[in-house]
Chain A
């Protein structure tokens, strides 16, 4: 079998179990693809020794008839996950040289289910960004191009390396994390599938924290079935995360019947934004038609506080980040600035954080500091948390009225060129998350499914939002949409 790296998780799993391939063969194929793809800058720490060691162990387990769900499947891990003995620096200079002495719960569960780690993936610094341009490792690059134009495009962010690696077949799947859209937006930009589960489904333990009330891990995969397989391996209760839900994890893959007859799909009018490109509007309408043709009922709904989601997010997320990132003080781990004669501990903190944090991270830490400071806490932070409750209630109301899932565009545009947003003010970049951020604020599951190409040949995604804890039902609706959309385009190899 050739081009094993192009397989998805389900196909590779079946081939492994049938004895048609070995995990070592799969892994070597991915390692070669990774070495050939340095131009994409997706893998920033390669771990071939760990990969081959785990692949050999997986082959033994398969031979012995003891193969767990992800046994022998090579995947990439976002740099935000702490991986024992392997650099984990959240794409930040301040964590230069940090090698955790422990493994995150999610990456441990994946290892326990037999998955093979190929290395660590590029991302925006501390997951703050929508284009993977704030990384200390440099930009991750999308494998997609606009026709014959060789301008480099963004794979999206913050899980840009994960998206680029999966779309370019450097790995079978990858982990991502999503605080405001960081799984779904890059998935949409690169023509892959990405799901953010309900807040509390995946343990946050060992994932470098950005905004703890919003952060969730999830899989980024080549199709919906793969997302179901990998999400199940990542989920589950963990006593080390106090917000981890003590709920049984269903067999998500078994729920993929493709039957959505009678399901009520809501189309929120507030997501029809002024200036929305006509092709996004058409994609959205086409998606609704596809679900209707599959037997679902399409219902117009209203989520009245949608407009206030981004401003609320840009209070809450920086506030939590300013607190979470206070731990980077140059004392316990990471990088300390070189000090001048006579510098005391305050100068050490200030210089270390000025040198170690990039511009966007500094800006968010300071905005967070401001909105939490005496005199402004009520006006900004408490008001944003009240608005967050109203946004959540919008969703509760439509679900109570019988809506099973909500269909929206995943992003307001296709991928843009690296560097194209440099001159824009920060708020312009934030608008990338306008359709995804509501889902984090409400703690709901959301999935991005590739649904078409724009006139320049770039992928566009649709987002489905589900009821809390009903990822299985959501994945099934996504599966029906995937079947109907029949998206099969792949980027031509130029790297």
Chain B
């Protein structure tokens, strides 16, 4: 599997990372190096093997569906790059 520039551009778009056009050839080439390394996995016979879900066998714990905290709007907004009137502020989303 070889990754071309348009695939690299598509992946960057999916990852929401801006990559300038002139950086795409180098990026595609790095992807190919890494994927070439990963291709070794195709040598392994995985017939009948389940994909790992949890490394230590344990049952995921459950808790009561109740409110455990809240009323900390100030703390939640304290680290926001742009917070206004008790909300996170972002550029216009809808035209």
Contacts and interface: CB of A to CB of B under 8 A. Distances in A.
**Considering residues A242, A308, A365, A370, which has the most beta carbons from chain B within 10 angstroms of its beta carbon?**
A370
B90 interface: yes
Interface residues of B, number: 50
A117 B18 CA distance: 38
Contact of B16 (A239, A353, A388, A468): A353
Interface in B33-56: 33-35, 37-44, 46, 49-56
B41 A308 contact: yes
Interface SS of chain B = loop
A362 B17 contact: yes
Interface in A203-249: 213, 239, 242-243, 245-246
Interface stretch (A332-340, A399-407, A409-417): A332-340
Nearest to A244: B61
Nearest to B89: A331
Nearest to A315: B38
Interface in A290-325: 305, 307-308, 310-312, 314-315, 322
B44 A387 contact: yes
A256 B61 CA distance: 33
Contacts of B84: none
Nearest to B36: A427
B14 A373 contact: yes
B61 to A, nearest CB: 6
Interface stretch (A95-103, A106-114, A281-289, A457-465): A95-103
B88 to A, nearest CB: 5
A343 B80 contact: no
B55 A426 contact: no
Interface string A349-392: 11101100100001101110111010000001011111111101
Contacts of B44: 305, 308, 383, 386-387, 390
B82 to A, nearest CB: 7
A322 B15 contact: yes
A374 B95 CA distance: 29
Contacts of A385: 51-53
A450 interface: no
B19 to A, nearest CB: 7
Given A349-B16, A386-B49, A388-B55, 17 more contacts: A101-B78, A200-B58, A242-B61, A245-B56, A311-B37, A343-B91, A345-B93, A354-B19, A366-B17, A370-B31, A380-B38, A383-B41, A385-B53, A387-B41, A390-B46, A426-B33, A468-B56
Q: When A and B form their complex, which 7 residue pairs have the shortest distance between CB atoms, in order from nearest?
A: A443-B55, A385-B51, A333-B79, A336-B81, A350-B18, A354-B18, A386-B46
